[in-house]
Amino acid sequence: MSHSVLCGDFAHYQDPDEEWSVDGFRTAEAAAEYARRFVRDQIEGLRGEYASPDALRDAYLSFGEYAIAPGFDLQAWLAHCIANPAARKADTDYQALDPSA
C-alpha cells in the first residue's frame, strides 16, 4: 500500500486546479514527515517578512501552501513551527523525501 500527501495553495483552498498529490510514500509516517517539512519550509519562507507570530500565521493561512497527510495535524504543527524556527536544512528539505525524485 502506498500513501499520498495532498498539497495546495491557501489562496485557492480546495480548488482542484490548484491542488496536487505527491504519491508513493511507503508508510503513513513517511507521508506525514514530508508534510511536516513542506509546511515548515513555507513558514520559514514567510518568517522574514512577518515579525509577529500572529502575522506569520495569518500570512501562511492566506497565501502559503498546505499539505494534508494521514496522521498529520496541520494546526498543531503550524503552531509548533511558528514558535520554533527551523534549526537545520533538513527541517525544511521536503524534496529529499519525495518518492518520485
What cell was used for 100? 518520485
Structural domain spans, the chain: 3-93
Round to whole Å and give the CA distance between 40 and 76.
Answer: 12
* Model pLDDT for residues 46-82, shown as the tens digit of each residue: 998 998 999 999 999 999 999 999 999 999 999 999 9
State the chain's mean pLDDT as an integer. Answer: 94
Q: What is the pLDDT of residue 101?
A: 77
Round to whole Å and give the CA distance between 37 and 97.
Answer: 9
3-state secondary structure of 67: strand
Q: What is the pLDDT of residue 5?
A: 98
pLDDT at 96 over 80: yes
Phi, psi angles (nearest 5°) of residue 8: -170, -175
Q: Which residue, among 89, 97, 101, has the nearest Cα to 5 in the 3D structure?
A: 97
